[in-house]
Amino acid sequence: MKPLPCPICRKAVDWETNPHRPFCSNRCRTLDLGAWASESYRVPEAPEDEDGEGWSEENP
Ligand SMILES: [Zn+2]
């Protein structure tokens, strides 16, 4: 199985032997959890206002 990059530091992770996968180490896993906790990883909710191109009022 080919190694995949750690989502935190991009270091190659051996998925067969690394218990911290998909992270390369417990440190990166902790960092990721910390990112979730601080909500910096949170997917921002798209404001519905931005998707009004179809029927927006246009002046000729
Ligand atoms: Zn890492």
- Mean pLDDT throughout 3-25? 90
Q: Is residue 24 included in any domain, yes or no?
A: yes
Q: How far is the CA of 39 from the centre of ligand 1 (A)?
A: 19
Q: How far is the CA of 17 from the centre of ligand 1 (A)?
A: 15
Q: Is residue 8 included in any domain, yes or no?
A: yes
Q: Is residue 53 included in any domain, yes or no?
A: no
Q: Tell me what pLDDT residue 42 has.
A: 58
Q: Is residue 27 included in any domain, yes or no?
A: yes
Q: How far is the CA of 15 from the centre of ligand 1 (A)?
A: 13
Q: Give yes or no for residue 14 having a pLDDT over 80.
A: yes
**Domain tally for the chain?**
1
Q: Is residue 48 included in any domain, yes or no?
A: no
DSSP string, 1-60: ---EE-TTT--EE-TTT-TTTTSSSHHHHHHHHHHHHTTTTPPPPPPGGGG--TT-----
Q: Give yes or no for residue 21 having a pLDDT over 60.
A: yes
Q: Tell me what pLDDT residue 53 has.
A: 62
pTM to 2 decimals? Answer: 0.53
Q: How far is the CA of 6 from the centre of ligand 1 (A)?
A: 5
Q: Is residue 36 included in any domain, yes or no?
A: no
Q: Tell me what pLDDT residue 50 has.
A: 58
Q: Is residue 12 included in any domain, yes or no?
A: yes
